[in-house]
């Protein structure tokens, strides 16, 4: 029996993922690299502030984690398909380790530090897109793939809750430069796990020519499919608006007089809701139900933000954020459609494009929320993000529903015609 047999049976439950040896390696590498990234972000931000005393430059170390995603996700996307996936993943980890190592060297200039931070963000979408495509190879294209993607997202959200606290405690024990050396070790450990824990598979596509031209051609091929375009929009549009409360958490906490403790709770509420929604949908709902509720959830997941218009207190605001986060369970249904609709030879590029778009729209959404709040105020901006975002998301959701119904009717007709031809001997 092959390693893929668990995927073929597609039993429901996160625990079944760990019966697949390769997934255990991917999961451990993901947790290790997340630890490294969170540690690097905190350490680098502290290091830049200690060197310059500039809050702006310190904040830019975080901003540079968003902006270059679009560059890597569009211009380097074909790396995910034109080379064996394991090689791409290992090389990406080694490149990240090579970028972080000079950060820990004494005397490294601020411009170099920020440039290396950008390089990390350029590599990240290639790594994440390749890993997402590899999950389909390891777990198959059924329910286990959806649960695997969900579990990696849950780990990422959990890192938002615990990672910065752990990183802050770590920096009380070691200097920022020593913390960056820990990050180098985590990237090297991730590379070793992926090299030894996953098997070599051939490249998905035999493409030639210049890397950038091939990547752009692949992006056009991915976006040429109407159903895939709609799915990507459904992945990208909700986060564009969903980041508004996070971007404005500090001024909102100040308006409420909630202090630093209230700010921490506001920052945690959305990830808590997201984790709860994904765990419930992954563990309790059948695949068909997840697909059936995906589009309705896309349309309503932002609606709780409208409650900010009533100027609620801290407790109600937290409930609104948890409720909105729980609606993000729509991603499990979209994941299944995406892996089903994208041709295998384009899967790596599609996943890389998806990742780059997600990070880019979140950065854009944070910037837009700040600009609007400058004129309209915090509560009006968050409430507006809920109302406008819901209306905007409803448009591709309705189009996707029509497209999927048309595809289903077409498949039914083809099966009926095939059965008729078989019965008549045609």
| DSSP character string of 208-232 | -S-HHHHHHHHHHHHHTSHHHHHHH
Separation between Cα atoms, residue 172 and residue 169, nearest integer Å: 5
CATH for 224-415? 1.20.1250.20
Query: Is the CB of residue 171 less than 8 Å from the CB of residue 41?
Result: no
Please provide the DSSP assignment of 247-306 as one string. HTHHHHHHHHT-HHHHHHHHHHHHHHHHHHHHHHHHHHS-HHHHHHHHHHHHHHTTGGGG
Span 328-352, average pLDDT: 90
Separation between Cα atoms, residue 398 and residue 393, nearest integer Å: 9
Query: Is the CB of residue 389 less than 8 Å from the CB of residue 302?
Result: yes
> Two tokens at 35?
């630890």
Query: Is the CB of residue 272 less than 8 Å from the CB of residue 245?
Result: no
Kindly report, residue by residue over 301-326, the tens digit of the pLDDT.
999 999 999 999 999 999 999 999 99
Kindly report, residue by residue over 394-417, the tens digit of the pLDDT.
999 999 999 888 776 766 665 565
Specify the DSSP class assigned to residue 141. Answer: S
> Two tokens at 412?
């039914």
> Two tokens at 347?
């899967």
Span 163-171, average pLDDT: 62
Structure confidence at residue 405 (pLDDT): 83
Separation between Cα atoms, residue 297 and residue 173, nearest integer Å: 44
> Is residue 1 pLDDT above 50, yes or no?
no
Lowest-confidence region among 166-170, 355-359, 396-400: 166-170
Most confident of 100-104, 220-224, 307-311: 307-311
Model confidence band, residue 38 (pLDDT cutoffs 50, 70, 90)? confident
Span 15-43, average pLDDT: 88
Separation between Cα atoms, residue 94 and residue 413, nearest integer Å: 50
> Is residue 217 pLDDT above 90, yes or no?
no
Separation between Cα atoms, residue 349 and residue 136, nearest integer Å: 14
Separation between Cα atoms, residue 289 and residue 23, nearest integer Å: 25
Query: Is the CB of residue 110 less than 8 Å from the CB of residue 51?
Result: yes
Kindly report, residue by residue over 114-159, the tens digit of the pLDDT.
888 888 888 989 999 999 899 999 998 788 999 999 999 998 888 7
Structure confidence at residue 11 (pLDDT): 43
Separation between Cα atoms, residue 318 and residue 389, nearest integer Å: 19
Separation between Cα atoms, residue 234 and residue 118, nearest integer Å: 27
Phi, psi for 342 (deg, rounded to 5): -85, 125
Max intra-chain CA distance, the chain: 82
For the chain, what's the residue count?
A: 426
Query: Is the CB of residue 53 less than 8 Å from the CB of residue 170?
Result: no
Separation between Cα atoms, residue 41 and residue 48, nearest integer Å: 11
Q: Three-state SS string across 65-123, please?
A: CCCCHHHHHHHCCCHHHHCCHHHHHHHHHHHHHHHHHHHCCCCCCHHHHHHHHHHHHHH
Lowest-confidence region among 63-72, 246-255, 281-290, 393-402: 63-72
Nearest to 196 by CA among 90, 47, 288, 315: 90
CATH class held by domain 18-198: mainly alpha
The helix/strand/coil state of 10 is coil
Model confidence band, residue 80 (pLDDT cutoffs 50, 70, 90)? confident
Separation between Cα atoms, residue 82 and residue 204, nearest integer Å: 6
Structure confidence at residue 210 (pLDDT): 80
Q: Is 7 exposed, middle or buried (0-12, 13-18, 19+ CB in 10 A)?
A: buried
Nearest to 393 by CA among 227, 239, 222: 239
Domain with CATH 1.20.1250.20 in the chain: 18-198, 224-415
Rounded to the nearest integer, the mean pLDDT of the chain is 85
Model confidence band, residue 8 (pLDDT cutoffs 50, 70, 90)? very low
Residue percentage of the chain with pLDDT more than 70: 86
Structure confidence at residue 410 (pLDDT): 65
> Is residue 181 pLDDT above 60, yes or no?
yes
> Is residue 252 pLDDT above 70, yes or no?
yes
Structure confidence at residue 348 (pLDDT): 87
Span 340-346, average pLDDT: 85
> Is residue 166 pLDDT above 70, yes or no?
no
Span 257-281, average pLDDT: 89
> Two tokens at 110?
């601020």
> Two tokens at 125?
């979408």
Structure confidence at residue 12 (pLDDT): 57
Query: Is the CB of residue 63 less than 8 Å from the CB of residue 105?
Result: no
Model confidence band, residue 42 (pLDDT cutoffs 50, 70, 90)? confident
């Amino acid at each position: 029996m092959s390693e893929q047999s668990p995927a073929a049976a597609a039993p429901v439950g996160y625990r079944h993922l760990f019966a697949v040896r390769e997934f255990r390696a991917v999961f451990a590498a993901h947790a290790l690299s997340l630890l490294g990234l969170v540690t690097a972000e905190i350490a680098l931000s502290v290091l830049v502030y200690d060197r310059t005393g500039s809050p702006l430059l310190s904040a830019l170390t975080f901003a540079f984690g968003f902006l270059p995603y679009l560059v890597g996700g569009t211009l380097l996307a074909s790396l995910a398909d034109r080379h064996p996936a394991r090689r791409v993943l290992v090389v990406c980890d080694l490149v990240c380790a090579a970028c972080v190592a000079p950060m820990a060297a004494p005397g490294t200039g601020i411009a170099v530090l920020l440039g290396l931070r950008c390089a990390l963000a350029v590599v990240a979408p290639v790594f994440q897109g390749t890993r997402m495509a590899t999950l389909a190879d390891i777990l198959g294209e059924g329910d286990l793939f959806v649960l695997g993607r969900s579990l990696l997202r849950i780990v990422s959200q959990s890192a938002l809750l615990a990672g910065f606290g752990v990183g802050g405690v770590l920096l009380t024990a070691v200097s920022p430069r020593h913390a960056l050396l820990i990050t180098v070790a985590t990237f090297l450990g991730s590379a070793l796990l992926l090299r030894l824990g996953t098997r070599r598979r051939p490249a998905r596509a035999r493409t030639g020519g210049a890397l950038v031209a091939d990547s752009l051609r692949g992006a056009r091929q991915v976006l040429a499919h109407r159903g895939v375009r709609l799915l990507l929009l459904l992945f990208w549009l909700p986060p564009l608006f969903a980041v508004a409360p996070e971007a404005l958490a500090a001024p909102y906490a100040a308006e409420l007089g909630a202090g630093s403790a209230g700010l921490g709770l506001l920052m945690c509420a959305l990830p808590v809701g997201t984790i709860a929604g994904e765990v419930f949908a992954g563990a309790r709902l059948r695949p068909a139900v997840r697909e059936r509720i995906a589009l309705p959830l896309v349309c309503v997941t932002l609606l709780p933000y409208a409650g900010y218009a009533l100027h609620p207190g801290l407790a109600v605001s937290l409930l609104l954020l948890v409720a909105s986060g729980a609606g993000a369970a729509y991603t499990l249904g979209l994941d299944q459609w995406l892996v089903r609709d994208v041709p295998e030879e384009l899967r790596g590029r599609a996943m890389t494009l998806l990742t780059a778009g997600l990070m880019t729209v979140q950065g854009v959404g944070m910037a837009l929320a700040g600009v609007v709040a400058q004129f309209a105020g915090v509560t009006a901006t968050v409430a507006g993000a809920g109302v406008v975002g819901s209306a905007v998301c409803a448009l591709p959701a309705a189009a996707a529903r029509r497209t999927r119904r048309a595809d289903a009717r077409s498949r039914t007709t083809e099966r009926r015609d095939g059965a008729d031809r078989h019965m008549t001997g045609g």
